[in-house]
């Protein structure tokens, strides 16, 4: 016989469990718990601020391994099929920015969504890139994976000129308050250039080589897309093709490693054209995939 209390009890438990904010789940996913690592980092104490509830996070260092970006795909995953991942990524980004905004951050994204707003979301397997903009020529790019969050900040003083950038990293920590601790992240950026013949079919291309604290290198290109641009495919110097994500006047693409994009096949309402990406679009890859390179803007948080 079913007790009368069972059904309301199930509902009460379900309702109470549903109150957990996405940011809490994102925090758990941002911790690195790699198996069979030889070393443990000293537990990190995280304050109660910003809703960070983890108080004795224990994390595993990577022990020199360089996990690849497992699950990455050259073609974006439909974001509609990854809504929970996107929500978690956005929550992680906002929490990270609230706790540790990159140096020179223009308008911090707040938990209430004020300030910069998300303009593009690119999901590739378990990885999510979200670009935030505030309507000016400035943007923030947030890159999240199962065990890290990287936020870069970019501002421009006019078309084609990149003047600043910084990176802060949350990864290998138990919470956002210890973001980026001890590990510098290389950030080698190029200049923003226009590709195309008219603003409506142009891409404003901006590239950067980055390296996670665990040594995993990746390369990211992003920028604004003209109103006629409906898609773009990047061709790398190793022959690989990466389909960029275009959304709301922005485009973005990234790939594991340090290969450089050499051409962009830009699809507009009038057809597809192949454009060479000028050499200065992207700087040389950082030697060894890590460390600073000339002109880089690096922020390794203490």
Partner 1 sequence: MAGARRERAIEQFERFVTETSDRLLRTAYLVVWDLGEAEDLVQDCLSKVARRWPRVRAMDQPYAYARRVLINLALDGAVRRSRRREEVAIEYEPVDRRSEADLRQVEDAATLTPALGQLPPRQRAVLVLRYFEDLTEEQTAALLGCSVGTVKATTSHAFSKLRLSDLRPLSELPLLKERNSR
* Calpha distance 153→20 (Å, rounded): 29
Give yes or no for residue 38 binding partner 1 (CB under 8 A).
no
CB of 164 to partner 1, least distance (A): 33
Give yes or no for residue 213 binding partner 1 (CB under 8 A).
no
Residues 6+ apart with CB under 8 A from 6: none
Helices (DSSP H) in the chain: which residue ranges?
6-17, 22-30, 83-99
Residues 6+ apart with CB under 8 A from 154: 138, 139, 140, 141, 162, 164, 165, 206
Answer whether 205's CB lies under 8 Å from 281's CB. Answer: yes
Give yes or no for residue 280 binding partner 1 (CB under 8 A).
no
23: left (phi over 0), alpha (psi -120 to 50) or beta: alpha
Give yes or no for residue 70 binding partner 1 (CB under 8 A).
yes
First to last CA, the chain: 61
Give yes or no for residue 279 binding partner 1 (CB under 8 A).
no
Residues within window 109-128 making contact with partner 1, judged by CB under 8 A = 126
Give yes or no for residue 34 binding partner 1 (CB under 8 A).
yes
C-beta of 49 vs 249, nearer to partner 1: 49
| Among 16-24, 108-116, 225-233, 283-291, the segment contacting partner 1 (CB under 8 A) | 16-24
Give yes or no for residue 261 binding partner 1 (CB under 8 A).
no
* Calpha distance 271→248 (Å, rounded): 19
Give yes or no for residue 49 binding partner 1 (CB under 8 A).
no
Other Cβ atoms less than 10 A from the Cβ of 176: the count is 27
Using CB under 8 A, pick the residue from 15, 78, 271, 294 that binds partner 1.
Answer: 15
C-beta of 10 vs 241, nearer to partner 1: 10
Give yes or no for residue 104 binding partner 1 (CB under 8 A).
no
CB of 65 to partner 1, least distance (A): 7
- Residue ranges binding partner 1 (CB under 8 A): 3-6, 8-18, 20, 24-25, 27-29, 31, 33-37, 48, 53-60, 65, 67-68, 70-71, 84, 126, 146-147, 174
């Amino acid at each position: 016989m079913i007790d009368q209390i069972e059904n309301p009890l199930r509902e009460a438990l379900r309702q109470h469990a549903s109150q957990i904010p996405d940011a809490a789940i994102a925090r758990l996913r941002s911790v690195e718990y790699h198996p069979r690592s030889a070393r443990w980092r000293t537990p990190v104490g995280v304050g109660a601020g910003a809703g960070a509830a983890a108080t004795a996070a224990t994390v595993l260092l990577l022990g020199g391994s360089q996990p690849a970006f497992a699950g990455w795909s050259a073609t974006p995953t439909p974001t509609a099929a990854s809504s929970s991942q996107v929500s978690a990524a956005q929550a992680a980004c906002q929490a990270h920015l609230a706790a540790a905004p990159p140096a020179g951050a223009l308008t911090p994204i707040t938990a209430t969504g004020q300030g910069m707003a998300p303009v593009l979301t690119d999901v590739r397997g378990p990885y999510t890139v979200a670009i935030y903009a505030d309507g000016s020529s400035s943007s923030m790019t947030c890159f999240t994976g199962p065990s890290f969050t990287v936020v870069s900040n970019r501002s421009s003083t006019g078309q084609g000129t990149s003047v600043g950038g910084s990176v802060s990293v949350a990864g290998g920590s138990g919470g956002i308050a210890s973001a980026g601790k001890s590990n510098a992240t290389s950030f080698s950026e190029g200049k923003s250039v226009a590709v195309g013949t008219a603003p409506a079919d142009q891409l404003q291309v901006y590239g950067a080589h980055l390296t996670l604290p665990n040594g995993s290198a990746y390369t990211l290109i992003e920028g604004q897309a003209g109103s006629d641009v409906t898609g773009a495919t990047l061709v790398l110097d190793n022959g690989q093709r990466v389909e960029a994500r275009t959304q709301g006047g922005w485009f973005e693409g990234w790939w594991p490693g340090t290969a450089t994009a050499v051409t962009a096949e830009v699809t507009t309402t009038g057809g597809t054209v192949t454009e060479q990406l000028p050499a200065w679009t992207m700087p040389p890859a950082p030697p060894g995939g890590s460390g600073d390179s000339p002109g880089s803007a690096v922020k390794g948080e203490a």
